[in-house]
Amino acid sequence: MKTTALIKDIRTQVTQWKREGKRVAFVPTMGNLHQGHITLVEQAKQYADHIVVSIFVNPMQFGQNEDFDGYPRTYERDSQKLIAAGADLLFMPTPDIIYPKGLAQQTYVEVPEFGDELCGASRPGHFKGVATIVNKLFNIVQPDVALFGRKDFQQLLVIKTMVEDLSLPIEIIGVETIREASGLAMSSRNGYLTEGEKHRAASLKQAMDQIASDIQQGIPIEQAISAASQYITQVGFRVDYIEVRSAKTLAKAQPSDSELVIVAAAYLGKARLIDNQCFNR
């Protein structure tokens, strides 16, 4: 696996591969890799001949008082995991390379349809930062296909909408959430949890399972959400939001919607955990 911080190196290598008629897959990450990230790399082999991975902790998507400075940076360990997974090229730029004019002067991309609610409401400007960095990385790497985890359901819709609206020639693949044996969704921020908190964190998945079951049995959505919120609050969570939305549009669930998604965000100790679950009514 080749590793570089330089945009020109990425473009030179990808251009060479494409001249050879090869397809290129891209997996953007912020590092501190876990099995969920590695699964993206492994599944990318189904769609392309060569795999590019980026590791960049993007300052634009962190708000004030968020964990940008403390976000885990485990570059050597990440590199070894990517070599074992079969990645071909690792892009690890610095903020000066990505944002040479600084954040204040940076052109940005915004997806208003999904960007201002749920996590967007709790973290103002977050999805502007996500859309901008993903668009910029797409322009640098020029992949044929890009893979993202479904754990952040809203982020996946933001990226798919951006690609469609800006007519980018990239196929976006969503990959199912990888979970611990307890049901806890794998996340780089799980490292903030103590052992006791990690055990209790599985309650978030249990609460979503119960919401889906309740709704399928005809219990009103708001009643199902209220019961689940009380349950995870009792085990120590501070709820940011738990909602049931249309799995197709992320709009508020309507009686006519059959494909639904539970989207949830809650704090446990120092960690803000997000998760989701799709189900049919």
Q: What is the pLDDT of residues 177-222, one digit of tens each?
A: 999 999 999 999 999 999 999 999 999 999 999 999 999 999 999 9
Span 67-78, average pLDDT: 95
- Mean pLDDT, range 66-72, rounded to an integer: 92
pLDDT of residue 113: 79
Question: Over the chain, what is the mean pLDDT?
Answer: 96
Catalytic hit among 34, 37, 50, 126:
37
Give the confidence band of 8 by pLDDT, cuts at 50, 70, 90. Answer: very high
Pairwise CA distance, residues 175 & 190, whole Å: 19
Enumerate domains of the chain plus CATH numbers.
2-175 (3.40.50.620), 188-280 (3.30.1300.10)
**Average pLDDT score over residue span 121-140:** 96
d(CA 83, CA 89): 9
Above pLDDT 70, what percent of the chain? 100
Calculate mean pLDDT across residues 55-71.
94
Q: Report the DSSP beta bridge partners of residue 238.
A: 267
Contacts of 149 (CB under 8 A, 6+ apart): 36, 37, 40, 156, 174, 175, 176, 177, 178
3-state SS class at 183: coil
Please tell me the distance from the alpha carbon of residue 273 to that of residue 49, in angstroms, as a whole number.
34
Q: What is the mean pLDDT of residues 239-263?
A: 95
pLDDT value of position 260: 98
Q: What is the pTM of this model?
A: 0.95
pLDDT at 238: 97
User: Among this protein's residues, is 50 annotated catalytic?
Assistant: no
Phi and psi at 259, nearest 5°, equal -100, 110
CA distance 137 to 143: 9
Residue 69 has a pLDDT of: 93
